[in-house]
Amino acid sequence: MFLKKIFDYGKKEEQVIENIKKHLELLCNACDLFHSAMEENDKNLVGEVVDSERKGDSIRREIIANIYAGAFLPYLRPDLCRFAEIVDRVFDFLQETALNYLEVKLPEHIRDECVRVAFLNARMCEILLISFEAMLNGEDLREKALAIRIYEKRIDDMEFSIIRDLRQIPVDDFWQGRLLADFVSGITSISDAMEDAGDHLQIINVCMKS
């Protein structure tokens, strides 16, 4: 593993790496679950997404606890903690969006577009996990970072299209209208946070090689 070529690290470092990978794998699974919930219109899967957020929060606390206990060199610790916090923010957006999905009434064409956004979010998460594993092996992350940005740009474009369509929908109930707007904002914010995570992973990669 590339990290072992840089430092001779011990159990604390190994535990952090294992937990970061577990954190990302759990997030990928949660994104897939939410996509399935929307695609199959199965709101029972939302409970599993919420459970994943709770598990993710526990893993994040363990990552940060091990870092503060002395894992890795001091100059790397803030960036590793920040990365774990950004991934946790993705979980938060996903949980909030999944809970809103239980209540929101989506017009069919808006729902179809949101299913596609959920699919792209899941693929972005896969690339983020692949990027982390590539970093551990000392690989260049530029192509993977570009792929994440391309997905994020595509979701941004879809968001503008969805919002344009939303403006044409008559709303009789203020709270349903707000819930609909919050849902669209939430599902598209997931990709923004994942792009931030990908960018921060590059910072960590550069720091490790400097």
Does residue 2 surpass a pLDDT of 60?
no
Q: Which CATH architecture has domain 2-209?
A: Up-down Bundle (1.20)
R_g (Cα) of the chain, nearest Å: 18
CB atoms under 10 Å from CB of 10, counted, come to 10
Q: Which helix (H) or strand (E) is 27 found in, with range? A: helix 11-39
The secondary structure of residue 34, as a DSSP letter, is: H
What are the sequence ranges of the domains in the chain?
A: 2-209
CA atoms of 133 and 196, how far apart (whole Å): 17
HSE at residue 61, side-chain half, CA atoms within 13 A, is 6
CA atoms of 102 and 44, how far apart (whole Å): 9
Does residue 3 surpass a pLDDT of 80?
no
Q: What percent of the chain has pLDDT over 90?
A: 79
Lowest mean pLDDT of 43-52, 126-135, 140-149, 166-175, name the range. 166-175
Q: What is the pLDDT of residue 8?
A: 47
Segment 5-20 shows an average pLDDT of 78
What tens digit of pLDDT does each residue of 157-200 get? Answer: 999 999 999 888 887 888 888 899 999 999 999 999 999 999 99
**pTM for this structure?**
0.93
Cβ–Cβ under 8 Å, residues 27 and 88: no
Q: What percent of the chain has pLDDT over 70?
A: 95
